[in-house]
Amino acid sequence: MKKHNFREIKIWQESLVIVKEVYALTSSLPKEEKYGITSQLNRSAVSIPSNIAEGSGRTSNKEFIRFLEIAISSSYELETQLILVEELFNLQTKEIIENLHALQNRIGGFTRQIKERMNKDI
C-alpha cells in the first residue's frame, strides 16, 4: 500500500476547520468547565484529524480504515458533547453539528472507497 499524505486528504483538512470551530465555542464556556466539558470537547475534536493523520501513515489499508473508524467514532463523541453544551449552556452548536454530519458522511465515503480498492486488488 502506498502511504497517504494526510495533508492532502480532504477529510483531514475539513476536520481541522471543525477543531477551530470547537475551540472558538469552548472559549465562551464558563471558566469552571475548563477541566470538564471544555477539555473533553477540545480533545474529541482534535482526535478526529489526529486519527486520520496517524492512520494515513500505516502500512496497510486495513490499518488505515481502523483509524478512520476511530476518527468517525470521535466525531460521534464530539456530536454528543455539542448537544450537551447546547442543552446545558444554551450555546448554539447547530452549525458545527451540521459541519460534523457532512464530515461523518465524507469519512464514511472515503472508507468505502478504500475498501472498494482493496477488493479490486484481491
In this structure, how many other beta carbons lie within 10 angstroms of the beta carbon of residue 75? 22
**Given the C-alpha cell 477541566, which residue does it identify?**
35
- pLDDT tens, position by position, 48-71: 999 999 999 998 999 999 999 999
Please tell me the distance from the alpha carbon of residue 57 to that of residue 64, in angstroms, as a whole number.
8
What the chain holds in terms of domains, given with CATH numbers, is 6-121 (1.20.1440.60)
> Can you give the pLDDT at residue 118?
87
Cα separation values, 18 from 44, 48, 63, Å: 11, 9, 24
Residue 84 in this model has a pLDDT that exceeds 80: yes
pLDDT of residue 61: 93
**In the structure, what pLDDT confidence band is assigned to residue 3 with cuts at 50, 70 and 90?**
confident
Cα distances (angstroms) measured from residue 75 to each of 30, 46, 63: 23, 10, 19
With 80 as the cut, is the pLDDT of residue 122 above it? Answer: no
The amino acid at residue 109 is: G
Q: Which tens digit of pLDDT belongs to each residue from 4-45?
A: 899 999 999 999 999 999 999 999 999 999 999 999 999 999
Q: Collect all residues with Cβ–Cβ distance below 8 Å to 98 and sequence separation of at least 6.
A: none
pTM of the model: 0.94
Distance CA 23, CA 45 (A): 9
